[in-house]
Structure 1
């Protein structure tokens, strides 16, 4: 994705079902669980690089002995930092007890993060600054073990204020906007009530049922309770992903199926999806149940997971991304007037590579069809040279764009900063014939268009192609997200900017003011969540009109080359990714009422000139 957006988060849990002595005997090391947690988190590092955290609960510790520990980091490589710290603790202890790891009980008592329950998290910050205090897991401590709670998740909640008010939470300034803190307060509130009914063995399913009914958002959350219980729960629409694997020695969960498969070397069908509204609950003895916490609603799993966020080494996601590219081949062929001889195909690194393969496959299918037609037209009368010329024709693919390491400007001056941004990408010179070849480049999606305009188009223009066609494997992003992706400022979307320009050119600015008035009316009556008013912005603008205007907006000043933008259609997206139908950022059809509220608020913020998030 050329436009960097903060998104998602990664979750991982491991519950060892056997004593550490058994684990050491069978797997050769008492550190088996921690080693696997490290791998689970590293295999999901794409999901969060602003910070990481780990919480551990030890079972059957002597009274007065610490049993819940947490470590967090927000340095440049937080996963490595956390596990290096744990490793250093072990090395320090081994100075005094060289055979420390040979004695599971002794090691467990002295190594803080060696325990049976582990909760790992990777953070992409969508709320607050990138302070270590915002890194998950959060912990609510209590003198009673069954009331100690560590919580982490991949989510955003829309109704944070309402949740905090419901439980009369006392918050610091730092905590007021934290959706994780709000969720922790609510779950802990009901955990305490349940523990009063059933001391030391609270019904976790009951706690989650009382809590989750109040959450407005998409989420995959994991929690550890001090008495040895643990849980992972998914929202009722299945917006955020959640997978698990049950083994006789351990139970594992993660945000991505492939992470579990790689870490534990298991088959695809052995890793199961946690269904919408369900929770995987594990008791203190290691027994698990799948509980239906919320009545499942229409499945609206986030389609961006398949387009971009999840790693593409999952075979289903890989095939779906191939299909996303393949479905774009027809409009691209039409755009180049079927002239493959004078067209070069490339992709914008790195994650658009798989959809690029699909696009090229579509081109190859067309070219092979033409080859057959050409040979058949000869009616058996052809020379070796004629046959060789046809058979050797190939799709022209080149490594055009190169993304350099993340560049950080050391100058705050706007002009200097803009000059630096232009060089985030570089090109391979001499890869096309100036003024003869059309250049087709595919990207995962076009969110803000900033990098295209300020860097990529300018860079590609140096090659002097006859025409540049930018292809997006995702549809037009028109609306904000509020379920885990940091896209909540209306004015930043290139599609919205294009719509505004079109309305201005038509002298229809009144459309915006009318919609703004409607939003204000709904807000006054506390009904901002009842409809998506912003759909009216696009009501009389066709997809093609919007694409044409976007092409003009991303055209860099001084680049006199025709630019065309081609987007995936909503229909083809759903055909390619049939299990992930969440498309609210494209269609405005939000799965929860809070989505409408955030979208309308984001529009009002734009109209009022407020550069703030929509929730």
Structure 2
């Protein structure tokens, strides 16, 4: 769930100096685009710039990458420091600024990192850079993606004689695209050489004629996963393309002055001060290509899949709630839970306080409140019960930090409900994945208020399966829903079903990914959602909580009604959108069964 941002200025820098009072117009927009997507990655950030038409001997690509939660601020502080060291004469003169100042360029590519592989270090922070003596073979790459067939891609490259220095999917993407770019440039050279003898003219013609879509298409055909990839070539061409299932999002805005790309629509709306209808969504399987001369064109890289799988969990959890459609969807998710919530409290509205677990669940809370009021026709009691002291999501922290953080994330508003087991307390969250925060922090803290009953509501369905397309949830035993189903099977004497799923999974361990079936779904089949929810509540309730605890989950049907255009629900259903997902969940279950769940 990384964040990407790309800016291409379509006018010379002195145009922006004259109109907006600064040649830094593009750089300022990049800062806004990155800062507004800070929610998509807190592990690091990077920014790269390409300067057009720089003379030989002068640097034309600049890059700054930083690890940590404050990476965006550090990057721009470094850039500003370098600029502040320039003389006033250089700073006021656009031509001298472009010549002497590092990030005075026309093309920018920014990235917010959210790791899903456990790998860390500055070398894994985007943008990645593949340098070459020819500008048209120099490639800068950043993206929001996960590939599920890294081993296949690695083997493919090594069989061609390449020596990738890492098995990370970003490294392999860079080498794959770089190889095909070299091939495409060579092909153009062989054609143009027959017509021209001047090498400088030949180079210019190659850059003009270079078929960006062709080298992307030849690389991308082997990829299995979800991705939005942005790239810049050293001579000034740039591109962004999206996977054919539409798993990862991408939006763009084009005017006669600028082309902007980002992972989220409201980010562009705010940064560019434009209406939502001015912003378009890049279509699945499509590439937007911006040539050096500013020409923008769209080409199909791979035909969009008949059944798209736009990620629904991204809508529920990661995306900014300020998007008009996401806001409506999250409200609908809350509203659709009104009836099961009323059932959980025996319709006792008078003696129930409603709240939310900050902060991403607040919009769903408004929908829940509206749904309950519409059903009961009476006002409900609303309080700010929980306060989040640390702005950190524990389920995207590293494992060794997560347990400790979970006990300190929340505090409670004392006096928000009547003590002495008088009031029920209903709190809605956007998702319950591992249950760590509930067990180690939230339920214990809520218990201090002495409620009659605690009802925890999840606006998303039960997360039952690992994700391999962008969220760091890769091991079966991490999910409280899976652990609950396993316990129910054991308690009901159905260990044989667990064994059978293992043996069927093991039997297809060496099959091609296209032939692998997700048999892990059978673990859940004997039980209703309510039965699993009840078991989860039992498992997550600490021994010192002395009131009943009930969990209410969204249904998959309710999810699809609220988010009809985002049908990718593999976290909840096990219906993976690509063959690589089935292969990896098969491996995850084998690892769990064999006691290697931490590998």
**1:365 matches 2:350:** no
- Residue 256 of structure 2: SS of its match in structure 1? coil
Q: Which residue of 2 aligns with 1:519?
A: 505
Residue pair 1:499, 1:546 contacting (<8 A) in 2 also: yes
- Residue 117 of structure 2: SS of its match in structure 1? coil
Per-residue CA deviation, residues 449-476 of structure 1 (Å, 9 max, x unaligned), is: 0110111011111111111111000001
Q: 1:164 aligns with which of 148, 154, 162?
A: 154
In structure 2, relative to structure 1, the CA distance for the partners of 1:608 and 1:362 (3 Å cut) is same
Per-residue CA deviation, residues 495-544 of structure 1 (Å, 9 max, x unaligned), is: 00000100110111111111111111101344585211101111211111
**1:148 matches 2:138:** yes
In structure 2, relative to structure 1, the CA distance for the partners of 1:508 and 1:124 (3 Å cut) is same
Residue pair 2:5, 2:109 contacting (<8 A) in 1 also: yes
Shift of 1:42: 0.3
Q: Superposition RMSD on alpha carbons, in Å? A: 1.8
Per-residue CA deviation, residues 532-580 of structure 1 (Å, 9 max, x unaligned), is: 1101111211111111101101111111211111111111111111111
In structure 2, relative to structure 1, the CA distance for the partners of 1:607 and 1:137 (3 Å cut) is same
Shift of 1:338: 1.5
**1:610 matches 2:596:** yes
Q: 2:473 aligns with which of 487, 501, 509?
A: 487
In structure 2, relative to structure 1, the CA distance for the partners of 1:296 and 1:555 (3 Å cut) is same
Q: 2:122 aligns with which of 125, 132, 142?
A: 132
Residue pair 2:157, 2:164 contacting (<8 A) in 1 also: no
Residue pair 1:40, 1:260 contacting (<8 A) in 2 also: yes
CA distance in 1, matches of 2:247, 2:470: 9
CA distance in 1, matches of 2:529, 2:39: 32
Residue pair 2:356, 2:427 contacting (<8 A) in 1 also: yes
Q: 1:580 aligns with which of 566, 581, 586?
A: 566
- Residue 439 of structure 1: SS of its match in structure 2? strand
Q: Which residue of 2 aligns with 1:35?
A: 28
Q: 2:436 aligns with which of 445, 450, 453?
A: 450
Q: 1:182 aligns with which of 172, 188, 206?
A: 172
Residue pair 1:522, 1:528 contacting (<8 A) in 2 also: no
Q: 1:428 aligns with which of 388, 403, 413?
A: 413
Q: 1:552 aligns with which of 523, 530, 538?
A: 538
**1:214 matches 2:207:** no
- Residue 263 of structure 1: SS of its match in structure 2? helix
Shift of 1:362: 1.1
**1:501 matches 2:492:** no
Q: 2:317 aligns with which of 308, 311, 314?
A: 308
**1:88 matches 2:74:** no
CA distance in 2, matches of 1:408, 1:334: 30
- Residue 294 of structure 2: SS of its match in structure 1? coil
Residue pair 1:75, 1:81 contacting (<8 A) in 2 also: no
- Residue 162 of structure 1: SS of its match in structure 2? helix
Q: Which residue of 2 aligns with 1:400?
A: 385
More moved, 542-551 vs 235-244: 542-551
Q: Which residue of 1 aligns with 2:278?
A: 270
Q: 1:340 aligns with which of 346, 349, 353?
A: 349
Pairing 1:198-347 to 2, within 5 Å after superposition? 198-199=188-189, 200-201=206-207, 202-297=210-305, 298-347=307-356
Residue pair 1:468, 1:561 contacting (<8 A) in 2 also: yes
Residue pair 2:403, 2:436 contacting (<8 A) in 1 also: no
In structure 2, relative to structure 1, the CA distance for the partners of 1:122 and 1:542 (3 Å cut) is same
CA distance in 2, matches of 1:304, 1:184: 28
Number of residues of Structure 1 aligned to a counterpart in Structure 2: 572
Residue pair 2:421, 2:452 contacting (<8 A) in 1 also: yes
**1:463 matches 2:449:** yes
Residue pair 1:530, 1:597 contacting (<8 A) in 2 also: yes
Q: Which residue of 1 aligns with 2:88?
A: 98
**1:9 matches 2:2:** yes
Q: 2:516 aligns with which of 530, 538, 545?
A: 530
TM-score w.r.t. structure 1 length? 0.90
**1:191 matches 2:181:** yes
TM-score w.r.t. structure 2 length? 0.93
- Residue 360 of structure 2: SS of its match in structure 1? coil
